[in-house]
Structure 1
Amino acid sequence: MTALPPDGLDAEDVLAQLRALRSADMPTHGGRTLAYVYDSGRRGLDELGMAAYALASPANGLDPTAFPSLLRMENDVVAAAAGLLGGTTATVGSVTSGGTESCLLAVLAAREGRRDVAAPAVVLPATAHAAFRKAAHLFGVRAVEVPVDPVTFRADPAAMAAAIDEHTVLVVASAPSYAHGVVDPVGEIAAAAAARGVRMHVDACIGGWVLPYLRRLGAAVPPFDFSVPGVTSISVDLHKYAYCPKGVSVLLHADPALRGGHYFASADWPGYTMLNTTIQSTKSGGPLAAAWAVLRHVGDDGYLRLARDTRAATAALREGIGRIAGLRVLGDPDATLLAFTGEPAGPATGEPDFDLFTVADEMRARGWYVQPQFAHRSSPVNLHLTVTAANRGGEDAFLTDLAAAVRAARAAGPVAVAPELVAAIGALDPDTLTAEQFEGLLAGAGLAGDGALPERMAPVNALLAAAPARLRERVLLEFLGLLYRPGS
């Protein structure tokens, strides 16, 4: 396909091409893609969001005086989030493009709020979202990673407190952590941060809109919001369990003074005075309007019903996974995320008699997407499920296919990486990786140099699992560079 056709195509022809391209994607409805997408299962909700998106997409959030509708909608959305998360009349917030931007801004505001600290640091549990490491990288803040409990995967309050020093400008906890779906002990961590005069951010990007409803349904949700003394900011994504179109998140601060550090102004040039509340300058009003419309349409009782369905689906899947021989759910999840691993086949081996990466391939062949997660410290290789309301009613079909996928993986046997390839990986330096070495790894992984993906990913994932995390990052970034090339 050329960059531009010489003559414009008919609108229907363009849409037909788009539909053809989308046909290769995993489905975004029906609950069969258990990562990346959030499906309420409610008829008409997507159409409402897209209609609102279209109405406001030409409006520019750069200047609220020119587009006061966006100002009103943003204040409404922030108020809804603050009300759900224990905010007060002093609570303020900003609507962002997604959870990563919200986390970036939380770190930036904390850094700017302590310009007296020459070498600022942020204290993170090892399970904190990678967005905080990205923020540290971008903003020149040192990330201090603290090990979590090796069994529960929750942050260790004593270890977190011990890591706080005169350089700390922010302490982070998760509600819940993405990898295992557990809520950190926010109260104890916030108390330790407050005792040292340090800000405390709760990353509730994935749980902030569902945990309050789960609590109302009787779930034992640990305290995590602004009702906890010492919590100074919270991030919550609306394109997750508020089921709004992507991408909309909210970063809340307990009071306006805490928020000021992520605002930006520039008047020292001949153009307009640029004022930004977030990292973006120009930003379409579409995502904000879509979120505003969906929140108002679903309403409080609607979200309670969606949370009830999600809770029931999560419980059914968790119980069913436990009944499949060779599988075990990791930790004790508090929310709607599940991670499961393989149990050892016997005391003599200490290893499962099947490969989880093969299970993921087998599930994809059966029309399901489950997300592989590599081993990290005490967390073994596992498969991750993001459960949504759309999974209610489909639990038996999923579990039947999962049991079949495990049987197929057991029959196929473990995925073996050649010893010489493992040795070659061990000798590589990610900082000096050459093009020739990268091409050799691609060949060893069965990947084409043109960036084409193989049908089955288990051999690739097994090879990546043998690589240290830093080398895995470098290899995957190089491969990403192959994917994003015109003509690919």
Structure 2
Amino acid sequence: MSLPDKGRSTEELLAEIARLKRDDLPVRGGKVTAYVYDTGRPEVHEAAARAYFEMLEVNTLDPTAFPSVVEMEKQVVGAVAELLGGGSGVFTSGGTESVMLAVKAARDSRETGGRPRMAVPVTAHPAFHKAAHYLGLAVDAVPVDPVTFRASPGGVEAAITEDTVLVVASAPSYPQGVIDPIAEIAGIAAARGVPCHVDACVGGWLLPWLREAGADIPPFDLSVPGVTSLSCDLHKFGYAPKGASVVLFADPAMRRRAYFASASWPGYTVINATVQSSKSAGPLGGAWATFQALGREGYLELGRTTLAAARELREGIAKIPGLRVLGDPESALVAFGSTGDDDGVDVFVLSDEARKRGWFLQPQLSYAGIPANIHITVTGVTLRGVEAMLEVIAEAVEAARERGPAELPEGLVELVAGLDLDALDDAAFGELAAAVGVDLGGSGQPEMAVVNAVLDALPADRREAILIRFLSVIYA
């Protein structure tokens, strides 16, 4: 792109955006089962979009300059605290930032003799690894039960050392949608004098409504003794526009540990509640408007339909030969994999076949003894199309069975495993990918079975290095 000599009209720009988006996955309708959350109520999303635009140019950097920011944030955070056991909190741009602040607060609240450490289940979100990388902590992996996929309390106990500053649990964990034994884990942490963070980014704003709709949801929030902080994304099951999350702290003193202030320069006063400094109040306005547009009755009804859709989906998948649901998910996240017998299928090929039929089913790589699988996020709109989704899954299973597993060129995995990535520039890496049928610069929705099969065969650290190169080539 080069900057145009003369400004273009709004009509031209919108037409260009439409062209650029032609290969994007649809954000409405329920056929994309990850990344987007749809109420099925256009008027709610319209209200949020208009409020977002109204607050777009308001800068949250200085709350004394824009009092609307303070009032909106207090209302939004207050609603989250009321639903999730109290506490005080911060409105953030997403789950990763919420986690980052929780980790910072825990690190800064405890003196350690060595490098500060976190005890983190292998099913916890990579945001904790990202926070550890940015903030200089070490991560001690906690195993999960191979059948239920819930974090092991005994594993947590074994992972805590004198340098542990935070214990993590999930409600639910994203991969299989199950809730860790929060009360046990928080109790162990409290007995050792260590803060405990519950990552409820994906479930925090959903689980209470599922419970009210009749689901058996165990206690998981700040009302549980020993839970000291909790993250809850509003742009997931709160259905707010992207860029909306809250991190809650049981103790206001811990929240202050998340803040950053600097007086070591001659410019304006710097005091930040989040990682970002200047940022638009648009996401805050959108979250506030979504809360107001739906209200308790709206969220409860969405909880009922989500619960019904998740149950119907789990039961339907269990009836398809060759598939099995992983674990017993309490939430609206469903993961299923191959039975591994003669009727089993390659889940990566299954995902590609579903995409050909207009449905995006998210593939997940194997890790820590958990097999490769397909992940589906059930939202408020899913119930309308759950029968169609099950039909597509069944069709994709048959097509995947007919195609067979993804075929990898002989020696490809060994080649990738042994690559000296530092010796390859992005152009050379792209050419190498194209040579095995992976076009990183193409348009449309690519087939990913081969890529996922290669990644699945590599250890985690090698996967990470390859993924970084993929991203670098895509944006080159």
Aligned residue type for 1:367: G
Residue 20 of structure 2 corresponds to 21
Q: TM-score, normalised by structure 1?
A: 0.94
1:389 Cα deviation after fit: 0.8
Check 1:447–1:423 CA distance in 2 against 1; reply closer, same or farther (3 A cut): same
Q: Give 1:411's aligned amino acid.
A: E
Q: How does 1:201-350 map to 2 (within 5 A)?
A: 201-346=197-342
- Alignment partners' CA distance in 2, 1:162 and 1:460: 36
Partner of 1:465: 456
Q: Aligned equivalents of 1:114 and 1:105: distance in 2? A: 15
Separation in 1 of the partners of 2:122 and 2:361? Answer: 23
* Distance of 2:429 and 2:220 partners within structure 1: 44
Task: Flag the 1:222–1:402 CA change in 2: closer, same or farther, 3 A.
Answer: same
1:113 to 109, 134, 142: 109
**Offset of residue 448 of structure 1:** 3.6
Letter of the aligned partner of 1:182 in structure 2?
A: V
Q: 1:118 to 1:468 in 2, by over 3 A?
A: closer
Query: Aligned to 1:138, which of 134, 137, 140?
Result: 134
Q: Is the 8 A contact 1:175 1:184 kept in 2?
A: yes
Instruction: Determine the structure 1 residue equivalent to 2:409.
Output: 418
Question: Residues 168 and 198 of structure 2 are in contact (CA less than 8 Å); yes or no, is this contact kept in structure 1?
Answer: yes
Aligned-partner Cα distance in 1 for 2:153–2:449:
37
* Corresponding position of 1:401: 392
CA contact 2:33–2:378 (8 Å) conserved in 1: yes
- The one-letter amino acid paired with 1:15 is L
In the TM superposition, what whole-angstrom CA distance separates every residue of 1:455-477 from its partner, at most 9, and x where no partner exists? 32112222222222211111111
Alignment of 1:482 onto 2:473: yes
1:49–1:290: 8 Å Cα contact kept in structure 2? yes
Given the alignment, which residue of 166, 177, 180 partners 1:181? 177
- CA shift, 1:426, in A, is 4.0
1:258-305 CA-partner distances (Å, limit 9, x unpaired): 111111111121111101001011111111011011101211111000
Q: How many residues align?
A: 475
- 1:164 alignment partner in structure 2: 160
Letter in 1 for 2:380: A
Task: Name the CA distance, whole Å, in 2 between partners of 1:387 and 1:35.
Answer: 9
Does the CA contact (< 8 Å) of 1:445 and 1:463 recur in 2?
no
Question: Which whole-Å CA distance do the structure 1 matches of 2:420 and 2:31 have between them?
Answer: 39
> What is the one-letter code of the residue matched to 1:80?
A
**After alignment, is 408-417 or 164-173 more displaced?**
408-417
Moved more, 147-156 or 3-12: 3-12
One-letter amino acid of the counterpart of residue 369, structure 2 = S
Secondary structure class of the residue paired with 1:394: helix
Where 1:393 maps in the other structure, the secondary structure is helix
Alpha-carbon distance between aligned partners in 1 of 2:355 and 2:467, rounded to the nearest angstrom: 21
2:76 maps to what in 1?
A: 77
Unmatched segments (≥5 aa) in structure 1? 347-351
Partner of 1:361: 352
* Distance (Å, rounded) in 1 between the aligned partners of 2:17 and 2:133: 36
CA displacement, residues 134-166 of structure 1 (integer Å, 9 cap, x when unaligned): 000000001111111111110000110121111
- Change in Cα spacing, 1:4 to 1:392, as seen in structure 2 (3 Å) is same
In structure 2, do the counterparts of structure 1 residues 427 and 11 end up closer, same or farther at CA, with 3 Å as the change threshold? closer
Task: State which drifts further: 443-452 or 296-305.
Answer: 443-452
RMSD, aligned α-carbons? 1.7
Q: Deviations over 1:392-448 (max 9, x none)?
A: 121111111111111111111121213322332343466x56449845751454224
1: CA distance between counterparts of 2:435 and 2:184?
47
Residues 23 and 444, structure 2, Cα contact 8 Å, conserved in 1: no
Is it true that 1:191 corresponds to 2:179 in the alignment?
no
Q: 1:86 to 1:264 in 2, by over 3 A?
A: same
Q: 1:326, 1:396 → 2: CA distance?
A: 18
Q: Is the 8 A contact 2:122 2:368 kept in 1?
A: no
The aligned amino acid for 1:365 is: K
* Equivalent pair of 1:451/1:479 in contact (CA under 8 Å): no
Structure 1 CA distance for aligned equivalents of residues 345 and 49 of structure 2? 43
Contact 2:430 2:473 in 1 (8 A): no
Secondary structure, counterpart of 1:180 in structure 2: coil
Contact preservation (8 Å) 1:446, 1:460: no
Which amino acid in 2 is paired with 1:73?
M
Please say if residues 123 and 164 of structure 1, whose CA atoms lie closer than 8 Å, have aligned partners that are also in contact: yes
1:419 to 1:411, Cα distance in 2 relative to 1, 3 A? same
Q: CA deviation at 1:454?
A: 7.2
Q: Quick check: 1:385 aligned with 2:381?
A: no
Residues 292-343 of structure 1 show CA distances to partners (whole Å, capped at 9, x for unaligned) of 1110121111100001011111111111111111000001101000110011
- What's 1:61 paired with? 60
Question: What is the CA–CA distance in structure 2 between the aligned matches of 1:296 and 1:455, rounded to whole Å?
Answer: 39
- In structure 2, the partner of 1:376 is 367
Whether the 8 Å CA contact 2:33–2:377 is kept in 1: the answer is yes
Question: What percentage of residue pairs aligned between the two structures are identical?
Answer: 52
Query: Partner of 2:277: helix, strand, or coil?
Result: coil
Native 8 Å contact 2:409 2:436 kept in 1:
no
| Per-residue CA distance 1:150-185 (angstroms, 9 max, x = gap) | 111100001101211110000000000000000000
- Whether the aligned pair in 1 keeps the contact of 2:215 and 2:307 (CA below 8 Å) is no
Q: CA deviation at 1:197?
A: 0.9
Secondary structure of 1:392's match? helix
Q: Is the 8 A contact 1:421 1:444 kept in 2?
A: no
Q: Is the Cα–Cα contact under 8 Å of residues 166 and 195 in structure 2 kept in the other structure?
A: yes
Counterpart of 1:66, as a letter, is A
Tell me: CA distance 1:410–1:334, structure 2 relative to 1, closer, same or farther (3 Å): same
Q: 1:46 corresponds to which residue? A: 45
SS state of the match for residue 384, structure 2?
A: coil
SS where residue 251 of structure 1 aligns? strand
The one-letter code matched in structure 2 to 1:306 is: L
Q: Do the aligned partners of residues 124 and 449 (structure 1) sit closer, same or farther apart at CA in structure 2, a change above 3 Å counting?
A: closer
